[in-house]
Amino acid sequence: MTPVIEIIVVGNEILSGRTQDLNAAYMIDRMGLHGFTVRYESVIGDTVSDISEAFRIASGRSNVVLVTGGLGPTSDDVTVQALADAFDRELVLDENVLSHIESLFKRRKWFMSESNKKQAFVPAGAVPLTNSMGTAPGVLLKYDECSIFLMPGVPLEMQKMFDRVIFPRIQEEFEPEHVETASIKVSGLGESAIYDRIGHLPGAKKYFSYYPGTDGIEIKIRTDADAPMAAPQLSAEIIDILGDTVYSSKGESLETVVGNMLIAYGKTIGVAESCTGGYISHLLTNVPGSSAYLLAGVVVYSNESKHTVLGVDNSHIGQYGAVSAKVAGAMADGIRRITGASIGLSTTGIAGPGGGSVEKPVGLMYTGLSTVTETMTKKLQFVEDRLINKKRMSQAVLNILRLHLKKRFELS
């Protein structure tokens, strides 16, 4: 049987956002690799009645409930009490657990306080689970069709207990799903445009997920045994339909793909940025080894620097404005010339929030691409706030570079 799995994270510090929970992500990741999927996750504060209620809800809908946190010795650690309350059990002293805790304190030469004894109590009928790293034992309580596992909240203790004791039990008792996965990254098409083109594919509704980011959209496919087509076949169909807009089926970033193309074709670039403010250079230099093809970048924010650094004709700036195709082209030519790169790239635009007008609204960008044989420019319009605009503009420019390289150098 494939289990319904639920995670409950206990702790005021998590619920208040003071501490980021890492335990849920750890378990989701480990189980996902083996075909076990989590269906519900919740975060509850250190209140006995709230936790009890969460346990009762969970036991009615899940086969495996993985609980972290609230097993410590202090007064705000109430998870065991809440488990006992939820299913009307007494708390009973477990002699084995007590002697484990006592020996741990003796070994560490620490003074054992009364509050530590509390950790040796478990609900009647529950099984304590070894904690090789600390005093708080884990707990397993079976209720109806549901196994509830309590784990400590300290990540290292929790991970050891999960890996060594709990996940092996889950794998022994339950069957994983048969899953296959694929990823396709797309630039230059919106989520709804993608959906309109691939939404008719068999299993699209059930097995496709869309993850929009500043580097385009990632389409994730995860098929199970019931799927009409497996993930790799669906992936091939999607790539066929979406064509040039697909830039990776291996999860790579756009800057990695572009970098690999530049290396493969033996090309170098120089980048002159106005509205993107250095973000294109930042993306390119996120890739180790990018010094092989990025000769230099410049951030020319002022009109004066466009002239002094890149040699853009002041009269062009006067006549057409700094945000114009003419200036974008001259900037791309300029950076190519001063760096000696094979390709010059440029951006000039209005990131916002100020600086817009009716003719040149916020989000307007011109980008230039200069090679020894030609200078191309393109006008694009974005609509977000300053920071998002910078990121989307930068990604759009990298995508233009990618399509240029593809057209020029790939055999068709």
Contacts of a second copy in 238-267 (CB under 8 A)? none
Is residue 288 near a second copy by the rule CB under 8 A?
yes
The minimum distance between CB 411 and a second copy, in angstroms, equals: 30
Q: Which of 19, 314, 319, 357 binds a second copy (CB under 8 A)?
A: 19
CB 324 within 8 Å of CB 348: yes
The minimum distance between CB 412 and a second copy, in angstroms, equals: 27
The minimum distance between CB 298 and a second copy, in angstroms, equals: 5
Is residue 271 near a second copy by the rule CB under 8 A?
yes
Which residue number, 13 or 406, has a Cβ lying nearer to a second copy? 13
The CA distance from 273 to 279, in Å, is 8
Which residue number, 142 or 379, has a Cβ lying nearer to a second copy? 379
Contacts of a second copy in 183-242 (CB under 8 A)? 190-193, 195-196, 199, 204-205, 208-212, 220
The CA distance from 342 to 293, in Å, is 9
Q: How many residues bind a second copy (CB under 8 A)?
A: 100
Which residue number, 29 or 374, has a Cβ lying nearer to a second copy? 29
Q: Which of 221, 246, 284, 343 binds a second copy (CB under 8 A)?
A: 284
The minimum distance between CB 387 and a second copy, in angstroms, equals: 6
Contacts of a second copy in 24-43 (CB under 8 A)? 24-25, 28-29, 32, 37-43
Q: Which of 96, 103, 286, 319 binds a second copy (CB under 8 A)?
A: 286
Q: Which of 174, 265, 301, 320 binds a second copy (CB under 8 A)?
A: 301
Which residue number, 172 or 359, has a Cβ lying nearer to a second copy? 359
Contacts of a second copy in 366-385 (CB under 8 A)? 381, 383-385
Is residue 315 near a second copy by the rule CB under 8 A?
no
Q: Which of 69, 123, 137, 277 binds a second copy (CB under 8 A)?
A: 277
Which residue number, 104 or 325, has a Cβ lying nearer to a second copy? 104
Is residue 360 near a second copy by the rule CB under 8 A?
no
Contacts of a second copy in 78-137 (CB under 8 A)? 108-111, 113-116, 133
Q: Is 126 exposed, middle or buried (0-12, 13-18, 19+ CB in 10 A)?
A: buried
Q: Which of 170, 183, 176, 240 is nearest to 209 (CA)?
A: 183
